[in-house]
Amino acid sequence: MKKEEKASISIMKIICISIILILISGIGVMAVNTQLSDVKIVLQNGYEMTALTSKTKVSDILEENNIILEDSQKTIPDLDSEIAAGETIKITDKSYNEVQIAKISEDGVETSLDQLLENYAPVTEKIVVEQVTIPYETVTKNTTNETTGTTNKVLQQGKDGLKEVTYKVKYQNDVEIEKTVISEVVITEPVDRIVQVQKVQTSRSSALPRTSSTSTTGGTTYKITAYCPCSKCCGKATGRTASGTTATAGRTVAASSKFAFGTKLNIGGHIYTVEDRGGAVNGNKIDIFVNTHAEALQWGVRYMTVSVVN
């Protein structure tokens, strides 16, 4: 019995060793049949690693090496691409723009992936503040319905304004590729250029009599200004005087209450009639009525001798 037991144990050992040898040889055959390839992986920070893998899809290779992309990252080539042994996977920022180059040279050889990767450049952003001119506008005021016999007079010179503009500018390879306005702040408002179209005056006797600024005739010296029927001068634009008459250039003046309505005044050799009053017309001040605001501005302020005509 002991001899039979020993023989049985020996047979069992032989069977076990045979099974183990068969399994080892099977694993060896599987390893031989599985083709492994080396793939270079370049991380965004520039670190390079070589991975030995049997995978060919980019996403599978990254997963196999426990590499997880952030939302702002992408791979070159993309995750669904298939790559071969010796090729490179580059992890970069999504803001990188691909620079297209010729894929086939004159010799008909396809450009390598490394050459393509050399043409990727980062996009940088800068905040730039610039001062920009605001051009003034020209406003034309036509005081006559005629197209001939008119002249242009500049009542106010124009002046450009200034504003400060803040931009967000994107550069690639030191070349500006995008410029976006973030904010604008006006530093100086532009001043309009005002031009008045008026009839050519052949004689000034009707509105602005030809006089010297200082009269040497008898009487009292008054401060003489001019006004027109516009709302700026009168607060209204009816053309009616305080005495009820229609204001007329060359005749109507506004004076203080010490002159009764209808009083004739000799102002610099021209006879006027007191027909109007004014809140600012008091003391030794008299306003002469003219047709337009431009003529009132042209008159300005003069000091002239005034006497009452009996």
Q: Encoding tokens for residue 187?
A: 């530093």
Q: Which residue has the higher pLDDT, 264 or 200?
A: 264
Banded model confidence at residue 211, pLDDT cuts 50, 70, 90 = very low
Q: Which residue is it, tokens 């005021």?
A: 141
- Report percent pLDDT > 90 for the chain: 17
Compute the CA torsion angle 21, 22, 26, 32 (nearest 10 deg): 50
Per-residue pLDDT tens for 4-54?
666 666 677 777 777 777 776 655 545 445 577 888 999 988 888 888 888
Q: Which CATH architecture has domain 220-309?
A: Beta Barrel (2.40)
Q: How many residues does the chain have?
A: 310
In contact, 189 and 160? CB cutoff 8 Å: no
Distance, CA of 299 to CA of 250 (rounded, Å): 13
Distance, CA of 77 to CA of 98 (rounded, Å): 11
Question: Average pLDDT, whole number, for the chain?
Answer: 78
**Whether residue 207 has pLDDT greater than 50:** no
What b-and-e string marks burial along 183-209, b requiring 16 or more CB atoms within 10 Å of the CB?
eeeeeeebeebbbbebeeeeeeeebbe
**Whether residue 164 has pLDDT greater than 90:** yes
Look at residue 127 in the predicted model and tell me its pLDDT: 92
What are the start-end ranges of the E strands in 228-292? 252-254, 264-267, 270-276, 285-289
CATH (residue range 124-199): 2.20.230.10
pTM, full prediction: 0.32
CATH (residue range 37-121): 3.10.20
Look at phi and psi of residue 50 and say left if phi exceeds 0, alpha if psi is from -120 to 50, else beta.
beta
Distance, CA of 37 to CA of 87 (rounded, Å): 10
For residue 204, which of 299, 96, 111, 88 has the smallest C-alpha distance?
299
Give CATH 3.10.20 domain extents, the chain.
37-121
In contact, 75 and 62? CB cutoff 8 Å: yes
Q: Positive or negative, the Cα torsion across 17, 21, 23, 27?
A: positive
Look at residue 261 in the predicted model and tell me its pLDDT: 92
Distance, CA of 167 to CA of 123 (rounded, Å): 16
Q: Encoding tokens for residue 61?
A: 């290779």
**End-to-end Cα, the chain, rounded Å:** 174
Q: Encoding tokens for residue 298?
A: 């042209």
In contact, 138 and 158? CB cutoff 8 Å: yes
Q: Which long-range contacts (CB under 8 A, 24 or more apart) does 269-276 make?
A: 269/209, 269/211, 269/215, 269/217, 270/209, 270/211, 271/309, 275/241, 275/242, 275/243, 275/245, 275/247, 275/251, 276/241, 276/242, 276/243, 276/247, 276/252
Look at residue 28 in the predicted model and tell me its pLDDT: 52
Give CATH 2.20.230.10 domain extents, the chain.
124-199
Distance, CA of 127 to CA of 115 (rounded, Å): 32
Look at residue 215 in the predicted model and tell me its pLDDT: 39
Per-residue pLDDT tens for 109-127?
455 555 555 556 688 889 9
Give CATH 2.40.40.10 domain extents, the chain.
220-309
Q: Encoding tokens for residue 18?
A: 């045979």
In contact, 238 and 280? CB cutoff 8 Å: no
Q: Encoding tokens for residue 60?
A: 């599978």
Q: Which residues contact 144 (CB under 8 A, 6 or more apart)?
A: 150, 197, 198, 199
